[in-house]
Amino acid sequence: MAPRGLYQRGLSQAERWALHRAELIRATAELINERGAINVQNIARRAGKGRNTFYAHFASLEQATRAVESSATMMVAGRVELALRRGVAPRERLRGVISGWLAAAGEAPELIGAFLSSASSSRCAALARQHLRGALEEARAAGMIGGAIDEARLVAAVGSLQALVRAHVERRAAAEVVERIAVEVLLRLFR
């Protein structure tokens, strides 16, 4: 982040625009995680920008928080997709869903932490549900799990994944430990 008011001449206007937007999104995510006062002034101050810069990118505070959700969704979806390309076996694909979420959390913990917050939990849960359902259906078709992929178990699986990823985001558990435990939980849940 460049000091406020410093014009970055080495970047094109599009690059500066993207950088400022990313800094504002990161600042919004940090404030969401801190559960402090989230307002335009605090976001702009945290990002080292002025209010005019904020309003050049977002029409409202709500739009900035939706940008956090959208950025996190794209990041997680990309990491999961990449991880799933590497795995062929059902267990590897289940592990791929988990490792994709953990990769995103490791790359941008403030963004994924905000995504896991109560403010965006429904969108986060929907994405986790989509990823888990696909991997679990493949595991069931391969005979790896026998239990039905019913609503109650799927809710438990999504909640477990979110709680474990949050533990990693908050540095309470290493990614390898979270991945191992998440696979164990899912396999036992859907026996």
Q: pLDDT, tens digit, for every residue of 121-174?
A: 788 999 999 999 999 999 999 998 988 899 999 999 999 999 999 999 999 999
More confident residue, 76 or 37: 76
Q: Do 97 and 132 touch, CB atoms closer than 8 A? A: yes
Q: What are the chain's domains?
A: 13-60 (1.10.10), 65-189 (1.10.357.10)
* Residue 68: partners with Cβ closer than 8 Å, 6 or more residues away: 25, 28, 29, 32, 111, 114, 115, 120
Task: Name the band, by pLDDT with cuts 50, 70 and 90, for residue 60.
Answer: very high
CA distance 104 to 25: 16
Which amino acid is located at 165 in the chain? V
Q: What is the pLDDT of residue 111?
A: 94
Give the closest residue to 156 by CA, choosing from 124, 189, 131, 188.
Answer: 189
Percent of the chain with pLDDT over 70: 94
Give the closest residue to 98 by CA, choosing from 80, 114, 81, 111.
Answer: 80
